[in-house]
Structure 1
Amino acid sequence: MAKTNSKGKGGSIGLSRRTFLTRSALVAGGIAGSSLFPFAASAQSRRVDNIGLQLYTLRKELAEDFDGTLARVAELGFKEMEFAGYYGRSAAQIKTALETNGLVSPAAHIQWAAIRDNLQAEIDRAVGIGQRYIVIPYLQENERTLDHYKRLIDTLNSAGEACRDAGLKIAYHNHDFEFDTVDGVVPYDLLLTETDPDLVDMELDLFWIAYAGADPLAYIKDHAGRFSMLHVKDLSADRKMTAVGEGTIDFEAIFAHADIGGFKHYFVEHDNPVDAFDSVTTSIASVRGMRF
């Protein structure tokens, strides 16, 4: 089982800084330049290249002006969009809007109920948009019993087979509650150990795992290759969500473990920003400046 509380709640996420030898070894081994990892590399450092955005951050803006919002996002330099709703548009319309702005969408958040009740339609839509992942994003409060987690595991494994047959992969996105012990079990540990790693990936939300007081690096090391996607969002000293670079999380130390974790997609997000475009502008600038 992964260590879940190497830091108390509210503490800065420790995570040792990367070293020159680690960077050099990764580059020398060809890992940093591999197509599996979306960052540019040199002999000195790596950086995230294709920075993504979870569009839940801009849900109000998208509802008011879908095409204009995507255009602004592209102008800021984002490359990959993760959807959380399609605003009444078909897969073909979404794909056209993305292509118009030079964007792609690797993933979307789809509720557990939709996966249970209408999986094939969700697969067809994902394929039509050109996505690679369908992500279950959240559990309602009444779905957080141990029995529900076991049902979720069954859903993930069975949906994972159907997704694989369509060239997709199913994934699960965490909040903080998955790290709260339920009947003597840490649900996130159960999800990792009982889902088939060949069928099910994890989208690691760096804010929520930090908020829970758990150690992301412990999970990354103990479950290598499971974390194809990251939600890049920051935790302030007073335990609030903030723009990337304005909080306490050492993203560079986490990103330096991309080869171990299997990171492929980095989605900036803020759940409830005061000014959404101000937040994502600050966040993408911070991610661009990171070296690891």
Structure 2
Amino acid sequence: MTPSTYKLSFQLYSTRNFPPQDDVLEGLAAMGYDAVEPWLPDFATDAKGFRKRIDNAGLECLGFHMPLKGLIEEPMRYIDIAHTLGDSPLMIPPYVMPEERPFDADGWRRIGEQLAKGAELAQANNLRVAWHNHDFEYRPLDDGSRPIDLMLEAAGENVGFEIDFAWVTRAWADPYAELKKYAPRILAIQLKDTAPPGTSGEGGWTPPGDGIVDWDALWPLFATTPADHLVVEHDNPADWRRVAQRAHDFVVSKGAKRND
């Protein structure tokens, strides 16, 4: 892959406080975005209607965030949703609720095994599953092991990875080391940045390039992954348009997208 071939997507969790959705989709398309990455409320009740809205805006769905329980308990429902939303989008469980997080290594391995079962069904239907990280997966357990390693090892190579460098940074892990370690499994790269610890405003999140994530070190390694798209996210923007435009310009400045 060459840098100019990346598609640019926008995680719609970032715009949850800025309705109406059609204005967001049209605004993203006008800025030069190729796709969106929806989260559950966007498609839960009407996947066909959501697909029509993104089609009308001239956008794609390259992946979507979904509940882990959905992959475990209702895999075929979400497989059908995936086929409705796009041409083989990634099915991405992004979270384990605090009250459901295991305290030991075996518990995290079991979650990995559950991911593997869902991924097997997805693969049989020409789809892929990828885990999306937060910070809790990098916090060592009492035995020194890390949930992220336990899950992905138990899940096997059928389960990919959408890496979020901002959350890796907030967990005091090394994004460069994590990218090198899991490069073969990284199917999507999230462009999310964080301000220094203790920074107030917007939850301490920033557009990519404005925070402390070392993108200059990370960027050359993107080509070592099979990822074909980048996903912009900001958890609590005061102005989503500013974040989206700043991120788009940042990607163009890196030579990873044409300014068209």
Asked if TM exceeds 0.5, the reply is yes
Distance 1:252 1:98 in 2: 32
Distance 1:179 1:88 in 2: 30
Residue number in structure 1 paired with 2:246:
282
Residue number in structure 2 paired with 1:59:
16
Larger Rg: 1
Do 2:8 and 2:35's aligned partners in 1 also have CA atoms closer than 8 Å? yes
Matched, 1:112 2:68: yes
Do 1:108 and 1:135's aligned partners in 2 also have CA atoms closer than 8 Å? yes
After superposition, the Cα gap between the structure-2 partners of 1:54 and 1:182, relative to the gap in structure 1 and judged at 3 Å, is: same
Distance 1:176 1:133 in 2: 21
Q: Secondary structure at the match of 2:184?
A: coil
Matched, 1:231 2:186: no
Shift of 1:175: 0.5
Residue number in structure 1 paired with 2:89:
132
Do 1:163 and 1:170's aligned partners in 2 also have CA atoms closer than 8 Å? yes
Q: Aligned to 2:51, which of 95, 99, 109? A: 95
Distance 1:49 1:201 in 2: 18
Q: Which runs of structure 2 are paired with 1:1-292 in the superposition (5 Å)? A: 31-32=1-2, 39-40=3-4, 49-61=6-18, 64-85=19-40, 86=42, 90-130=46-86, 131-145=88-102, 146=104, 147-184=106-143, 185-197=145-157, 199-238=158-197, 240-291=204-255
Gaps of 5+ in 2: 199-203
- TM-score w.r.t. structure 1 length? 0.79
Do 1:252 and 1:290's aligned partners in 2 also have CA atoms closer than 8 Å? no
Do 2:14 and 2:234's aligned partners in 1 also have CA atoms closer than 8 Å? yes
Cα deviation, 1:15-58, whole Å, max 9, x if unaligned, reads xxxxxxxxxxxxxxxx42xxxxxx31xxxxxxx64211111001
Greater mean deviation of Cα atoms: 134-143 or 216-225:
216-225
Greater mean deviation of Cα atoms: 73-82 or 213-222:
213-222
**Which structure is higher in RCO with an 8 Å CA cutoff and minimum separation 6?**
1
Cα deviation, 1:168-188, whole Å, max 9, x if unaligned, reads 011111011111111311111
Identity of aligned residues (%): 27
Shift of 1:203: 0.7
Distance 1:234 1:218 in 2: 17
Distance 2:120 2:163 in 1: 21
Shift of 1:158: 0.3
Q: Secondary structure at the match of 1:258?
A: helix
Shift of 1:126: 0.4
Q: Which amino acid in the other structure matches residue 245 of structure 1? A: G
Distance 2:33 2:182 in 1: 29
Do 2:187 and 2:227's aligned partners in 1 also have CA atoms closer than 8 Å? yes
Q: Which amino acid in the other structure matches residue 190 of structure 2? A: H
Higher-helix-fraction structure: 2
Greater mean deviation of Cα atoms: 229-238 or 173-182:
229-238
Cα deviation, 1:60-86, whole Å, max 9, x if unaligned, reads 22xx31222211111111112111122
> How many residue pairs get matched?
246
Shift of 1:143: 2.1
